[in-house]
Chain A
Amino acid sequence: MTGPFDPQGRYGRYGGAFVPETLVEPLYELCSAWDSVRKDPQFHAELKELLSHWAGRPTPLSYAPRLTEHLGGPQLWLKREDLNHTGAHKLNNALGQALLARRMGKTHIIAETGAGQHGVATATACARLGLDCTVFMGTIDAERQALNVYRMQLLGARVRRVDSGSRTLKDAINEALRHWVADSASTYYLLGSALGPHPYPSIVRELQSIIGLEARAQVLERCGQLPDLLVACVGGGSNAIGLFHPFRDDPCRMIGVEAGGEGPGSGRHAARFAGGSVGVLHGTRTWLLQDEWGQILETHSVSAGLDYPAVGPEHAFLREQGRVEFSYATDQQALKAFRLCSELEGIIPALESSHALAWVLHECAAMKRDEVVLLNLSGRGDKDVAQVAALDGKRL
């Protein structure tokens, strides 16, 4: 029987299922349900139908001519997850898991959200599939992403504001887990990133791999070659693992970009690999920002979606293997990239994706002109407009 403690839930010394006893059995149930649907052609047909004719996949791969010119080095190509329904890659996972939940006979979906994109994607999938939905969101995030709170409510979801701890994504996950512990029989916890206990990191990777599968075929067709470099931002790391995974056996360099906040020296950041160490949080063993006593540190990023103290366990493993390199971009660098992409490409990127772009702008100028950089533009920045305006001293 497949279960949460299986070897495929381990990524080297990372991963696993560190959960209260009450959640062990629900994880067994999830493992076995996932195992059966992923082998079921009907499930894949149903998911594909919705992704194609409702969500708008495949998303395009766009050449970015003016950013390429500005950079003065390699060709920059953007995988346009911002054009996915609801404006980010998050729907790929939310839709797949909502279908899974319905198959399991679960009627009530709970989810956590940081930037609100996963919450909106979950609320959207639940509306489409007729499932009851509650989204947990830290009060600080709910304030800086007020637009997404209202979107979730329009979609028929309940938004529960979480006022404990640091009042951000981490605390929203705590509350969602507590809720799940209390009612695991009828509730499905729809986790939004490549995080948490097994099988979540592998479910999320598989559902997000459509990004890399499409991008790989598109770049081969358009450029006649594989990309030399893949870049994605990493909060929990779902858009990154979705892009990277299908390229894992290709000779492409891969970079994950974390949130540098005000700089790793400042103590106000979410660059786990730059300032963290190994520990256990939210059911998985991975790299964390913590103090010497194992207490989880508060994080900071201008981007709510990257503002989280742990990184997905598979990223920790891929870094240790030397397969994926990690770096960070600061708030200021990301904001600069946000404006530049808007002005030069006519695309307002999410602040999360702007971190990946900032890294490219900072690090890639020396690459050759015939080299190809493929960046995952994981979401659009409409949700961030009010926040950026406020930083400019403007109230919309």
Chain B
Amino acid sequence: MKAKHLSPIQQRFELLSRQGRKAFVPYLSLGNPELGSCRDLALMLEDCGADILELGLPFTDPIADGPTNQRAAQRAIEAGIRAEHLAELTAELRGIGFSLPIVLFTYYNPLIQLRRRGLLGDLLKDIDGVLVTDLPPEEAQEHIGSCRESQLDTIFLASPTTPSSRLAQICAVSSGFLYCVSSEGVTGSRSELPKELESRVTELKQTSALPVCVGFGISRREQAERVCQVADGYVIGSALGAVIEDAWLGGADPVAAAREFVRKVDPRGP
């Protein structure tokens, strides 16, 4: 293990494992509500104990996203937010000492065009991993190749409908961590997480040595707590996005509102 080069995401999970802690992985949609506030939100999240930042690059047709993330993406696209701004933001964050690994969360078509134009390495140079919601491993050969070339971890998803027979294949192409989708459906809050969640996470952990993070639908402390009992980390996306949006629309400070929300929902304590 010592001789092997560890990616920033792997290093983070090594550290967490040594400390016996679980990962908190918040999601921010690029340009939600504005580019400048994304920087402040990211810094606040690091300050609040986040471990990995998921950053969403908006796409016009987000078929895996619920209304909150759809609105965030539409706002960003209408404001002219593009992959260039992703590079600007991440470079700025790195410049001021932001140290969390960053995972890009997006759809395949924007990535295809970046690759076609030879911009992938350049615009993603401060990114550590990529998660593409509409790209199953079977279609991902080219994507995996270019990610390896650019030293990006490839994070794939396992969902409740994924049969056990496909899990090994998903694990084999994944690096950094595995993303376990909590329940069927698009991103967004759920009143309850399914009862099969624990057995699915256990199955994933038996299939692969990779850390497992659970996302989709987590919006409350007791849900995060339940996930942390069995998984290596939890993702909060839409619920955080909704708090940011509400604050912004209501003329309040999105960063302050998001900080309060994170304190309330993060079960890991200081």
Contacts and interface: CB of A to CB of B under 8 A. Distances in A.
B60 A296 contact: yes
Contact of B113 (A22, A171, A174, A292): A292
A23 B181 CA distance: 12
Interface stretch (A12-20, A261-269, A317-325): A12-20
A17 B138 contact: yes
Contacts of B133: 20
Contact of B109 (A23, A181, A294): A294
A21 B74 CA distance: 23
Interface stretch (B7-15, B48-56, B159-167): B159-167
B268 to A, nearest CB: 27
A269 B136 CA distance: 32
A182 B186 contact: yes
A21 B156 contact: yes
B61 A294 contact: no
Contact of B159 (A18, A21, A165): A21
Q: What band does the interface of chain B fall in when counting residues whose beta carbon is under 8 Å from A?
A: 35 or more
A161 to B, nearest CB: 14
B135 A25 contact: no
Contact of B111 (A181, A183, A294): A294
Interface in A284-301: 288, 290, 292-296
Interface string A170-198: 11001001100111100000000000000
A22 B160 contact: yes
Given A280-B109, A280-B112, A293-B113, A21 B63 contact: no
Contacts of B136: 5, 17-19, 21, 24
Interface of A: 4-5, 16-26, 164-165, 170-171, 174, 177-178, 181-184, 279-283, 288, 290, 292-296
Interface of B: 59-66, 70, 74, 77, 82-83, 108-114, 117, 133-136, 138-139, 156-163, 166, 170, 181, 184-186
13 contacts: A20-B63, A21-B156, A21-B158, A171-B61, A177-B63, A181-B184, A182-B185, A184-B184, A279-B113, A280-B109, A293-B82, A294-B109, A294-B113
Given A24-B136, A26-B161, 5 more contacts: A21-B156, A22-B185, A177-B63, A178-B63, A182-B185
- For the complex of A and B, 9 pairs with smallest distance between CB atoms: A294-B113, A182-B185, A294-B110, A5-B138, A22-B159, A294-B109, A25-B161, A21-B159, A296-B60
